[in-house]
A and B are shown apart, each in its own frame.
Chain A
Amino acid sequence: MTPELTKSLAHGMRRIRTVEETIAARYSEQEMRCPTHLSSGQEAVSAAAGALLRHSDLAVSGHRAHAHYLAKGGSLNAMIAEIYGRVTGCARGKGGSMHLIDEAVGFMGSTAIVGGTVPVGVGLGYSLMIKGGDDIACIFLGDAVVETGVFHEALNFATLKNLPVLFICENNFYSVYSPLEVRQPTAREIHEKIAGYGIHTASGDGNDVAAVHAVMSDAITKIRAGGGPAFLEFSTFRWREHCGPNYDDDLGYRPDPMIEEWTARDPISLFEGKALADGRLIQGEIDAMQQEIDTEVNAAFDFARSSEFPPAEEADMHVFADQMTGGPL
């Protein structure tokens, strides 16, 4: 791995972690007044995707979307302002944490209904197929999404039409408090079940960013070459509660050994530890990187908190569009 890529992955993970932990630290101030799903502990998959996707690739996501949006290049200021309900937010305060959008970098939207953006991503893939070229559509999803009918319907169509669509499944083993084994048969892993569609599938350790990058790079190369859709499963672990700023393992829904094993395998220290050991990174670079990230994140919170709220008359605006908002084909 090149020093540039090493720095890029470390930076991507640290930036997401810092944003999420700052949200967690400030949530009790009661100024971020919306449900918020944090990705602390799950940064590796997003950071790898961010290093591999272009702005002209089109991505969608679900309720836990901060990391995906940031990795794709979405504006940090606009995201934090959106969570603060300000008019400078990426959705002018209409959507909050779960409805992120930055079309300028190809982040086409995240929504709150589990599985709801999967067919939207496939439809974006259909539009890319007609237009030609080698851009791809990327759908971020969690382990619960593969339990929905719409996921299988959309995957069937993507396979049928050989569409340039990358399905990235982050399996964190829990849907809120419900473990995987009460929701899915576990004799086969998710990616093994999906392999039945006959598309390219692969899996990896979602806390090992180098491994994720390698698996993802291979899949993206195949898709760009016209190989059709691919499904990747990465196991990972969310540190905090499903929704909100706190730790909730006092509730006892996850076994202690599991918590210990996964939190010990922090994706940032795992990756940086190796890079420091083999000399691809030096501690001074990491410190400088973190300082730069802290400055950026603090500035984003300052931006959000100093932004205006949307005027009251915007509450009933945007129900209908007066004109087409997309450009010509």
Chain B
Amino acid sequence: MRSFANEIRDGLDQALAEDPGVLVFGLGVPDPKGVFGTTLDLQEKYGEKRVFDMPTSENAMTGIAIGAALGGFKPVLTHQRLDFALLSMDQLVNNAAKWHFMFGGKRSVPITIRMILGRGWGQGPTHSQNLQSWFAHIPGLKVVMPALASDAKGLLLSSIFDPNPVIFLEHRWLHNAQTEAADTNKPIPLGEANLLREGDAVTVVSVSYMTIEALHAVDVLKEQGISCDLIDLRSISPIDWPKIEKSVKKTGKLLVLDTGFKSFGIAAEIMAHITETCFRDLTLPPARLTAPDYSESTSPALTKDYHIRAEHIAARIGDMTDRDVSIEPILNARGAAHDVPGNWFTGPF
């Protein structure tokens, strides 16, 4: 068994070993905790020039990553939370995303920006934002959101060796997720969604941690005679429209799950696209389950109904299929409080 965090670390290790141009830096990268275990021992192995801690200068360090990329390197910059990386929007949007375009294709910018998404345990308004739609809105940025531990390394390798800037979003609640899948060292192409479950009742489209909740819901519903297609997007830019369209043409029903705010988000874009391309195949209006349009609070008393969980997904699929469904098996299987991913998580962030 290997964890999602182990897989990220192994992916960085493999990239550093394969290509002397790969650089890994970010606040805390060589510290004793190694960014939730994802960067442990890499500095000892590859030296201080290629793996290093950095000043608390998110914007400049993003520009420095861009400059190093123009100088022939493939930097991987890590932020302990997406929220900190908001300071780097100028470099990401005005330079990284546009360099190849605005210089007429003269030079691409192969950088990977890891950002960690927080949830629960009092992360509060500025440690829990899931702003993937911001990045996906910008032409020239790729946005990758792994869900399964078995995909983490393959997607990271593809991101690092992609010639373009890639925003690689790791959900904090996934770092301890386990995989038994074979350790293949194979890159997973960006833009290929993964059909995790097959069925004809509803098309469930999901990203990142929501895919874990969706797996619980879809598996419990299958035992109750409702089979759904579950599509884990893996990357939202590029996005695998053909796989979503094909499924919707089969099921006629679309439920989109997103970790971000509801309005103007990824779910909204997928619903709009499917409405444009598959309108006549739909037998119900498309539906979405997302975070609400307000920030996450800190007190556990205020976050009980903030995040979408498996029971919400199962109940919505029941509504969409006009079936009575039991969410008891989901609630009974849940061994941890609502604000932690499992009892393995005891804080602090």
Contact = CB atoms under 8 A, between A and B. Distances in A.
Nearest to B59: A150
B90 A113 contact: yes
B73 A119 contact: no
A90 B210 CA distance: 45
Interface in B116-142: 139-140, 142
A322 B70 CA distance: 16
A186 to B, nearest CB: 25
Contacts of A120: 63-64, 66-67, 70, 95
Interface string B244-268: 0000000000000000000000000
Given A91-B103, A123-B63, A324-B163, A116 B91 contact: yes
B106 interface: yes
Contacts of B142: 320
A125 B49 CA distance: 13
B312 interface: no
Contacts of A293: none
Most A Cβ at <10 Å: residue of B94, B101, B163? B101
Nearest to A119: B63
Given A120-B67, A319-B139, A92 B60 contact: no
Contact of A99 (B102, B105, B140): B102
Contacts of B164: 320-321
B88 to A, nearest CB: 9
A259 to B, nearest CB: 34
A318 interface: yes
Contacts of A124: 67-68, 70-71
A139 B243 CA distance: 47
Contact of A126 (B59, B64, B110): B64
Contact of B91 (A119, A130, A156): A119
A121 B67 contact: yes
Given A101-B107, A157-B57, A318-B105, 20 more contacts: A91-B104, A91-B106, A99-B102, A103-B107, A111-B94, A116-B91, A119-B63, A120-B64, A124-B70, A150-B90, A153-B60, A153-B61, A154-B63, A321-B100, A322-B163, A324-B108, A326-B72, A328-B21, A328-B72, A329-B20
Interface of B: 20-21, 49-50, 54-55, 57, 59-73, 90-91, 94-95, 99-108, 110, 139-140, 142, 163-164
